[in-house]
């Protein structure tokens, strides 16, 4: 990966699923999520696209435009969008010029076999066209959280909240045991008097 955070994002001119040209320069003034993925309708790519779809309104509220990129054709992208009800555009980089510009056409390896393919990488580009973040280890099922930098601290907070509840419950049990224990001598004393 030759691009770094702080670099000017390479401009591009690629058609979307409807054959409409998309240019980075036309998107100035918006934050852009430009995510590269290997192939339409494969399990990992579907999980990633659906996570972005399900959180799309949150992305819009934060000022983001979302564009997916793969080497698939416009027709393939159209089917993928229709099947999964994706609200964002997919770019058909069939000649891999966009992949080359962003360094995402790489040598991969599967079962010892080497081949060329798309690296699953997401670029966050700011309103001025500068790369703000590069996510190279994409969590396909939680990708929106990675993009919006939402830390999963909520689980810690919940655990912290549960601890006092457990302690107070323990105190109640202890208190009731103490009450029973203190009533035993009183019962024994009552028996002795009889």
45 catalytic? Reply is yes
Q: Residue 108 pairs with which residues in a beta bridge?
A: 115
Give me the catalytic one of 9, 14, 33, 45.
45
Measured from the Cβ of residue 65, the count of other Cβ atoms closer than 10 Å reads 17
What is the rounded CA–CA span in Å between residue 82 and residue 130?
32
The shares of helix, strand and coil residues in the chain, as percent rounded to the nearest 5, are 45, 25, 30
The pair of structure tokens assigned to 88 is 């964002």
What is the rounded CA–CA span in Å between residue 94 and residue 126?
26
The pair of structure tokens assigned to 90 is 């997919």
The pair of structure tokens assigned to 6 is 């702080």
What count of residues does the chain have?
Answer: 194
Reduce the DSSP state of residue 99 to 3 states and report it.
helix
Check if the beta carbon of residue 98 is closer than 8 Å to that of residue 18. Answer: no
Residues designated as active site: 45
């Amino acid at each position: 990966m030759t691009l770094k955070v702080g670099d000017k994002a390479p401009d591009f001119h690629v058609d979307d699923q409807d054959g409409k040209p998309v240019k980075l320069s036309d998107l100035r003034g918006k934050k852009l999520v430009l995510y590269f993925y290997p192939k339409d309708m494969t399990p990992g790519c579907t999980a990633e696209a659906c996570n972005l779809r399900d959180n799309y309104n949150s992305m819009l509220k934060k000022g983001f435009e979302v564009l997916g990129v793969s080497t698939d054709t416009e027709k393939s992208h159209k089917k993928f969008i229709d099947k999964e009800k994706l609200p964002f555009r997919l770019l058909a980089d069939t000649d891999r010029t966009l992949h080359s510009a962003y360094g995402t056409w790489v040598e991969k390896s599967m079962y010892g076999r080497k081949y060329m393919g798309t690296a699953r990488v997401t670029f966050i580009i700011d309103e001025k066209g500068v790369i703000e973040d590069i996510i190279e280890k994409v969590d396909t099922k939680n990708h929106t959280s990675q993009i919006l930098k939402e830390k999963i601290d909520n689980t810690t907070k919940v655990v912290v909240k549960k601890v006092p509840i457990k302690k107070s419950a323990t105190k109640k049990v202890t208190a009731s045991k103490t009450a029973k224990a203190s009533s035993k001598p009183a019962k024994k004393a009552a028996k002795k008097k009889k």
